[in-house]
Structure 1
């Protein structure tokens, strides 16, 4: 599996971070481009493909036609499968994804454990074993009360499955609820041959230090990750949270302003210039479809020119209306 990657590993120090962009084009054409590490499609309108670099997420876009998310690297890309895991590598970077049906694995907690255990075992055998960024999408994330809430159960299973795989520190991450009727868990990640620099937000309590009220297992992620080489910041799912508490219940515009303040705080903590530009792709997960227009107008006014992909998804706390993640390039 690792045959042919030694040259890419040796050159990884000099290679720039994967470039992520949103592009309106056919998936076949995107996958045919040199250096394409991964292509991600969104919603029911996307067909599945045999190429391991292709992933369709069960998140409906508010744009039609929906753009593809393209990850490009410098160097040759090879791809394959390892059980339920699809993977591709190039230039010292690794993309890996796994999609599991809960009905086949006994519920969200055991499915999360199985997914993360499989990913941890796979990564342990790879040169690119430093996990930098993870995305998690699950069904009905807010369903259930107290410790029985599905997001809290997911956190339990994730922690058991990862074991000591993240012993050097947690990666940046997102966890969003999709609206697909299937009880489907989808996890994908970016890993590299070198570790990144974990970034926390001074306006927020680190997620793994959340008090017990947020569940028996605190969320396991860093607020952002500066990638090896320092030329890119991978930003975790960011919402209107101050300290550890949600802010501005039921006030979408106030939540957007608070979220932007948190994003700017992350840039400052990472030692990057303030602001986002035309090369800083961001995803906005919007709970209520009727709010999509307001969110889009906010981007146009407060983040002009920033590529924005708006997706219909539930945030991990039911009182939060929007969450933003994405990339900032130096």
Structure 2
């Protein structure tokens, strides 16, 4: 393991962070707006378009009408496909995504290995080679026992597919279980020509230093990433983990309170002011639908005015009931 992963230095001339927002407009209209790098849909509005910038995320929302998530950059955007891989480039940023059927690759480990190897090889052919943020959505993430748990197999395959890709430091990341096609693995990323600054949380053990009890291969991600212009923080999936241990088993509200403590510690570690505002879009991944009203009420109380998208998703440890990720702008 390479030491000093917490430090990624900012190079000269960084470009402004993508603007991430939740919008109720239809996907076609959002794709037509200037600077649209990617659009993510959480319902049928993301179906039927051939535009590679439009991706349907296989996570159901707990809202009657789900917004789209919009990424916009400064400048024109090019886009295309490279086999199964979809991409767009503009304003100094690159979006790339892959969706694989695990059955075609021998299971969770094989699919993760192929996905990461393909993304790695694609990125290395472009100027935007600094991967700053990755999202992973896997079906039935907690199925299986011990080292045969599907998430642990995913971690094994991801490490094999990466090789030395992140030897200089891990990106921020999320890994969540979806309730769509159980064989679907979806991976997408955001990359830049400039490096960011990886941020760790003093309340939590760095993920790559987790002990053996969490699998043969430690998860490879930073707790957050300060983007190159230091104008935004990309926050990894954050759960009720203190040190390396899960906290408050069976208590969703207590876990959410612990998450909010972790987020405040992460902001402090990044040198950002405390709190979130109306320009800080967050996602809450909730394991049990019955918990959604309580999570919504708690977040409205603790984070008034903050846009939060509530999604039905499973955290990578079966005892964890809720997780948050998102963006915080300077």
Smaller-chain TM-score range? over 0.9
Structure 1: gaps spanning 5 or more residues: 1-11
Q: How does 1:281-320 map to 2 (within 5 A)?
A: 281-320=281-320
Distance 1:120 1:64 in 2: 37
1:66 aligns with 2:66: yes
Distance 1:239 1:93 in 2: 28
TM-score, normalised by the number of residues in structure 2:
0.95
CA gap of 1:173–1:213, structure 2 versus 1, over 3 A, is same
Query: Which residue in 1 is equivalent to 2:183?
Result: 183
SS in 1 for 2:273: coil
Query: Which residue in 2 is equivalent to 1:153?
Result: 153
1:44, 1:58 within 8 Å by CA — same for their partners in 2? no
Query: Which residue in 2 is equivalent to 1:228?
Result: 228
Distance 1:240 1:164 in 2: 30
1:171, 1:225 within 8 Å by CA — same for their partners in 2? yes
TM-score, normalised by the number of residues in structure 1:
0.95
- The structural deviation recorded for 1:44 is 5.3
- The structural deviation recorded for 1:263 is 0.4
Query: Which residue in 1 is equivalent to 2:32?
Result: 32
1:198, 1:226 within 8 Å by CA — same for their partners in 2? yes
Q: How does 1:28-107 map to 2 (within 5 A)?
A: 28-43=28-43, 46-107=46-107
- The structural deviation recorded for 1:165 is 1.1
Post-superposition CA distance 1:38-76 (Å, at most 9, x none): 000014564142111110011101112110000000011
Query: Which residue in 2 is equivalent to 1:212?
Result: 212
Post-superposition CA distance 1:23-51 (Å, at most 9, x none): 11100000000000000001456414211
CA RMSD after TM alignment: 1.0
Query: Which residue in 2 is equivalent to 1:23?
Result: 23
SS in 2 for 1:295: helix
- The structural deviation recorded for 1:108 is 0.7
Query: Which residue in 1 is equivalent to 2:111?
Result: 111
Query: Which residue in 2 is equivalent to 1:129?
Result: 129
SS in 1 for 2:55: strand
1:162 aligns with 2:162: yes
